[in-house]
Amino acid sequence: MNTSTSETTCHPSGDSSTAEHILVLGIGNVLWADEGFGVRCVETLQRLWQFAPQVEVMDGGTQGLYLLHNVQSATKLLIFDAIDYGLEPGTLKVIENDDVPRFMGAKKMSLHQTGFQEVLSVAQLTGHYPEQVVLIGCQPEELDDYGGSLRPIVRHAMAEALNIGLQRLRDWGAEPALRDEPLPEDATLTGAMLTLDRYESERPSAEQACRVGDDRFIPMPEKG
């Protein structure tokens, strides 16, 4: 779990009970193909954009309940994630406020969604819940590919998802501004080894890594 803020701590200075704290959270697993959509979105945001001091950009990965204190401290929460809406791959859908926990629990794709739905529920029960919550979700194409990367149609959807997110952040007073130069790889949320371009260029092929099955052990069905 990595974060990027404009201050030296996770939270803005001042009274934490009243201070504005905008949390931009990407959740998912970059090692499972389109499951990495949310993390790739915040990675791109952090590398290319800078924000006002009250904004925290976080790679939440699959941390689940460990994200509770981050959600509780936020006054506004923007989430990027791959969500199975039952739509065409690459389709984006924006869900807001009370609908977010219900939507994330409607059709769980992985354990991280179960865990994050619980985070939202516990935050509501404790009375420390963001004033506004926005989920920008993308319909995945492929999830069962360990070591795979975003499918082209999902990667293409990132630009629109980021535009939607940036506009919401402007509305919230986050003051997004393009950096003069993108952050170097070793300063990114995901770390140098897992940045999207490097991950795609250096990972072994599906055949080399036996990502799609090994006929020596589990013969793949013949294509008709």
Distance (Å, whole) CA 52 – CA 61 = 23
The answer to the question of residue 220 being in a domain is no
Sign of CA dihedral 215, 220, 222, 224: negative
In a domain, 218, yes or no: no
CATH number at residue 47: 3.40.50.1450
75 vs 192, residue with greater confidence: 75
The pLDDT assigned to 13 comes to: 38
Say whether pLDDT at 192 is over 70: no
Number of domains in the chain: 1
Q: pLDDT of 95-123, one tens digit each? A: 999 888 877 765 555 554 557 888 898 99
Q: What is the mean pLDDT of the chain?
A: 80
Q: What is the pLDDT of residue 221?
A: 59
Residue 21 contacts residue 75 (beta carbons within 8 Å): yes
Q: How confident is the model at residue 200 (pLDDT cuts 50, 70, 90)?
A: low
Among candidates 147, 157, 31, 22, which has minimal Cα distance to 83?
157
0.85 surpassed by pTM: no
CA distances from 170 to 99, 158, 173, 176 (A): 22, 18, 5, 7
- Percentage of the chain surpassing pLDDT 70? 71
Is 140 in contact with 84 (CB distance < 8 Å)? yes
* Average pLDDT of the segment spanning 123-149: 88
> Model confidence at 136, in pLDDT bands (50, 70, 90)?
very high
Residue 88: inside a domain = yes
Domain range for residue 97?
2-209
Asked whether residue 74 is assigned to any structural domain, the reply reads yes
